A and B are shown apart, each in its own frame.
Chain A
């Protein structure tokens, strides 16, 4: 049966619809702008498929409900935005340590503090470097279109189950509020994996324990090494990035998410002007495409990093780029959204330097 369907919906709704298509039946969250369409969609549609929607008393409670549902073996999800994601970091650290899968959506907004509700990529560090206390990482997926909001949500649940780790969708209000046509369903179904570690009551087996406390030095080291080896496997196997018009390029623009989306327009305009610029777009932010950046910067020395923040992903580009690469950074502090013209301006400035 082909249940493929095409809909004109916004990015937040695409994530919510994808969660249901991915078999997620437990969603816990606390209200915050600009992700409201996710809880609103799921409060209406999750009960229709026998699922549970629970509006929690706090961000902290909601992530801990996700922890409990995940420990019980279910696909579970929460969503929030910057300030709420900060509050969830406690739970994320525990879930990483407990090796519990779940999908966490950050439709990020301007920060720090209460900030504002405009688009921002200021949560890159928090998302990709662990975020909470302790030595851990979570997988971070950065969609750049409404279709990707849908597709990466489904992929996120699969990755979470495969690696037993929290996975984050890092987007912003541009992607959350933007409406595009999305093809939903119709693909190979995402199926939750068998979870023999889940807590179900110990009928017919010995009791299972999910915990993160290791007071014994050897056991603590062993546990942290196990997590580290998992992150190495993820870095080896799960990098996704898009290369666009790079073959003949003199300049490579590196951007993710909404910044990449806006920069695509700038690149088209630059190409019309005869400027040969291509794009490398990291889709997984952790694992970061270190090798891909290194490879491309070996051939094409000029790199322009564009972000809707004052410089975060650029640090990962700098440690990945080849020694001879010339990396230029253009960051727009969050508040006002990046414009295609200003990125074009930066492309032209870089090209003036090329060959000098």
Chain B
């Protein structure tokens, strides 16, 4: 019998701890598929951040280093500068990357560090219980915006991909979603492309993934999928913002 579906080799044979309807598991799988596809598992070093993504080392069958909150791009820089021939990726949430870690992400991108960053944007601090994130939508109710996020005082949701796309050091910047099969297929392609950029020494590559957090959105998983379409994508458009061309002969 022909096997048509299996666990990527880069993922360990364990169950995810993520909440029902959370997209972290899908994103983990897509990253693992890219690593498998490029046959780089044994030369990949992952950088875990703080939040729901910290347990990267429980799921990826690669070397992993934990970084302090927001510092994953700096830790990744240190690792990559030592091991230029290894593949280094950071996996960060929106509180981690877009609030406490804004400095680290912007400067790693601007230096063109040859690393890949996967940015999970679910518009909320997940692990700490659903507080407002920099990416929280206007009007969105969170545990620290009980009356809904207002641009007066809270500011507007931060568009990180658009921001990073202005930096010359970036080889690839794209935003994707994983809320339906078509979007998952596109996300798979974009994540693979980001890793290919690194393999080809093209510099900093970045994929923002819009992700559902039904628990903190206080929605059913199905309603959360709809929210990604109806509320998130109109404000956070799915797009390749920057892409350098990989020369044919490298």
A residues bordering B, Cβ < 8 Å? 26, 28, 52, 54, 56-58, 60-62, 64-74, 76, 90-91, 94, 98, 199-204, 207-213
Contact = CB atoms under 8 A, between A and B. Distances in A.
25 contacts: A54-B77, A56-B74, A57-B103, A57-B107, A60-B74, A64-B71, A67-B71, A67-B78, A68-B47, A68-B79, A71-B75, A71-B78, A73-B82, A74-B82, A91-B71, A94-B66, A199-B45, A200-B45, A200-B86, A201-B42, A201-B62, A201-B83, A204-B42, A210-B66, A213-B54
A64 B61 contact: no
A57 B68 CA distance: 16
Contacts of A56: 74, 107
Given A200-B63, A201-B42, A61 B82 contact: no
Contacts of A208: 63
- Range class of the B interface residue count: 35 or more
Contact of A64 (B57, B67, B87): B67
Contacts of A209: 57, 63-66
B44 interface: yes
A199 B79 contact: yes
B107 A72 contact: no
A64 B74 contact: yes
A208 B76 CA distance: 16
A272 B7 CA distance: 82
B81 A60 contact: no
Nearest to B111: A54
A66 B76 CA distance: 10
Contacts of B66: 94, 98, 209-213
A64 B60 CA distance: 22
Contact of A61 (B42, B74, B87): B74
B82 A69 contact: yes
Contacts of B65: 67-68, 71, 199, 209-211
A68 B87 CA distance: 14
Contacts of A60: 71, 74, 103-104
A91 B86 CA distance: 24
B48 interface: yes
Q: Is the interface of A mostly helix, strand, loop or mixed?
A: mixed
A66 B79 CA distance: 9
Nearest to A68: B78
A106 to B, nearest CB: 20
Interface in B104-157: 104, 106-107
Contact of A207 (B47, B63, B68, B74): B63
Contacts of B48: 211
B56 to A, nearest CB: 9
Contacts, number: 129
A71 B81 CA distance: 12
A207 B82 contact: no
A91 to B, nearest CB: 7
B43 interface: yes
A199 B63 contact: yes
Interface in B189-206: none
Nearest to A203: B42
B142 to A, nearest CB: 24
A76 B65 CA distance: 16
Contacts of B71: 60-61, 64, 67, 91
A207 B78 contact: no
A7 to B, nearest CB: 29
Contacts of A71: 65, 75, 78-79
A61 B100 CA distance: 12
Contact of A28 (B62, B67, B78): B78
Given A74-B82, A213-B66, A201 B75 contact: no
Of A61, A90, A94, A204, which is in contact with the most chain B CB atoms at under 10 Å from its CB? A61
Of A56, A68, A70, A203, which is in contact with the most chain B CB atoms at under 10 Å from its CB? A68
A79 to B, nearest CB: 16
Contacts of B82: 26, 68-69, 72-74
Given A76-B78, A201-B83, 14 more contacts: A57-B104, A60-B103, A64-B75, A65-B78, A68-B75, A68-B79, A69-B78, A91-B71, A94-B68, A199-B79, A203-B43, A207-B61, A207-B64, A211-B48
Contacts of A70: 78
Nearest to A208: B63
B78 A72 contact: yes
B78 A202 contact: no
B103 A68 contact: no
A80 to B, nearest CB: 15
Of A28, A65, A73, which is in contact with the most chain B CB atoms at under 10 Å from its CB? A65
B89 to A, nearest CB: 12
Nearest to A209: B57
